[in-house]
Amino acid sequence: MVKYYLDNAATTKVFDEIVKDLTYVYNEKFYNPSSVYKEAVEIKKEIELARTNLLACLGDKSGNLIFTGSATEANNMVVLSNKNLKGKRFLFGAGEHPSVKNSALELKNLGYNVQFIPLESSGRVNEIEFAKMLGKDVAFVSIQHVSNETGAFNNISKLVKLAKRANDKLLFHSDGVQAFMKLSYNIQNLGVDYYTISAHKIGGPKGVGALYIKNGVKIPTLIFGGGQEYGYRSGTENVFGMLAFSKAASICYRDLEKNRQIIAQHRNDLLSELKNLGIEYSVNGDSEGMHILSICLSEKVRGETLLYVLSSRGVLVSTGSACSAGKHMNTTLEAMGVSRNKILSSIRISFSAYMDFDAKVVCKIIKEELIKLEDKSYE
């Protein structure tokens, strides 16, 4: 029944090339990479090649990359690993993904001095307020590269320079899940100490993420055991996930500029067609050209209601982050100053360059369902 999947910020379809690899890896490369015989050693080498490739895609082969079970795990790992910095301040963007925000709240519950950086109406962190909050006592900062709720882009390199100017010992983390293989950048130019990425947002499988750690930066051990992942995260490796993550990144890296053009076109086509059909929409924040679009199509219709009726017509969207599903208010939109009614009436549409999209068909369905729902609101 699904005709148009428009929730690619939640997850993406795994590339066909990777699905074809699944049986081969599990049947022919099932050996434990920690074993010492030839077959296992060869698999270990392939994992290291995958790691090197992901670092190359990020733009820093001299850095370290730790494979994790998810981006959520990587975010928790880096935020909670700085618990030894008692007496210091920790700054977080007010619109962070729940895996960062809830880790920050856990630090706060433990008595740490945690502060949240206000957002502009654009969805970006307020750089002026951020600069005011900085000081020698700030030990850790975490600001996402691209908002998972609105697609708003933060100028991480500028923010890192501001932070390091105030305290050159400060550690800076960025959740890059929605930016990796969507934007063209070199992580060395960003200047971050830590950076989180995820496989299932770029055509790879679920259950594998990674944390980039700048060369020379330390992080405590997360999981003790056999010493895998350089001792940071022990446990038998997810061989298929690691190799598939690398392959998905290579495919996206190859198509990066073309994909950006396709996504920008999808977005423009959608907004143009909504306008042609007389739908008076409003976009939450500023995410020009990005794959994520937070939009209110009618303040008379709840976003959740619209989501359900669209899904019955084969158009899948969301009301925001899947990790925030079930919550009544979108805290990111709230931090941007969006009104309560508009928040409850908004949906999130997120595009992929690898999936079919027809703006005329999608917008026709949206208009038909909006008319029905708006008529009911007057009954």
Name, in order, each residue with C-beta under 8 angstroms of 375's C-beta and a sequence gap of 6 or more: none
3-state secondary structure of 341: helix
Cα–Cα nearest to 259, from 181, 356, 198, 359 = 181
Please state, in angstroms and rounded to a whole number, the distance separating the CA atoms of residues 271 and 136: 45
- φ/ψ of 209, rounded to 5, equals -135, -170
Question: How are beta strands 209-213 and 64-68 bridged, if at all?
Answer: antiparallel
| Active-site position among 252, 296, 323, 363 | 323
- Phi, psi for residue 93 in degrees, rounded to 5: -60, 145
- Residue 99 CA to residue 184 CA, distance in Å, equals 25
DSSP state of 230: G
Residue among 58, 28, 38 at smallest CA distance from 245: 58
Give catalytic status of residue 296 as yes or no.
no
Q: How far is CA 117 from CA 127, 154, 159, in A?
A: 9, 12, 12
Task: Report how far Cα 60 is from the mean position of its chain's Cα atoms.
Answer: 20
CA distance 66 to 79: 15
Residues labelled as active-site residues = 323
